[in-house]
Amino acid sequence: MNADDLRSLQAPLKQRYKDEATAAIVTLKAAGELDSENVVCKVDTGRALVEAGLHPATGGPGSFACSGDMLLEALVACAGVTLKAVATALGLNVAGGTVRAEGDLDFRGTLGVAKDAPVGFKDIRLSFDLQGDLTDEQRATLLKLTERYCVIYQTLKNPPSFQVDLTSAA
């Protein structure tokens, strides 16, 4: 895909969202089924069923997906797609590369063994190793715009308000 292809694909959407702001509001959804026997939540990704379970650092067998890994994978996927879209829109030569995310967790927090230990990621690092002929200025612009437009990055940097409900099925 080149810049013109991307623009022609997105132009009608951008115009519609300018004309009708509410059309741009889309509710994404995810659902999972709790396993009746194991500490597992089965999440339907739309492409495959992923069984998420306890990380080995919390007593899990290591045979299930870890939700922390899935969060980092979502960040990598979103940042990678965003970077490629920005590069395409700007006509920058990104021939390939890798995107990596790492996050530090102190499992004392999630296991409740140290009240001063946070529950959740303490630090997250996102890095790109790009192939292509880019100037320092182009790299800086690419990084700045990727950060600006990556949904997962922005959600982690600026957390949304949360509402949590618990109901009981009969």
147 vs 23, residue with greater confidence: 147
CA distances, 118 to each of 112, 135, 161 (Å): 10, 40, 19
Q: Are strands 40-44 and 49-53 parallel, antiparallel or unpaired?
A: antiparallel
Q: Which residues pair with 51 in a beta bridge?
A: 42
| Tens digit of each residue's pLDDT (9 = 90 or more) over 86-96 | 999 999 989 88
**Cβ atoms 78, 151 nearer than 8 A:** yes
> Range with the lowest mean pLDDT among 20-24, 79-83, 166-170?
166-170
Domains of the chain: 31-65 (no CATH), 66-159 (3.30.300.20)
Q: Which residues pair with 149 in a beta bridge?
A: none
Residue whose token pair is 């990727």: 146
Q: Which residues pair with 102 in a beta bridge?
A: 125
**What's the rounded Cα separation, in Å, for the pair 91 and 65?**
37
| Tens digit of each residue's pLDDT (9 = 90 or more) over 105-162 | 999 999 999 999 999 999 999 999 999 899 999 999 999 999 999 999 999 999 999 9
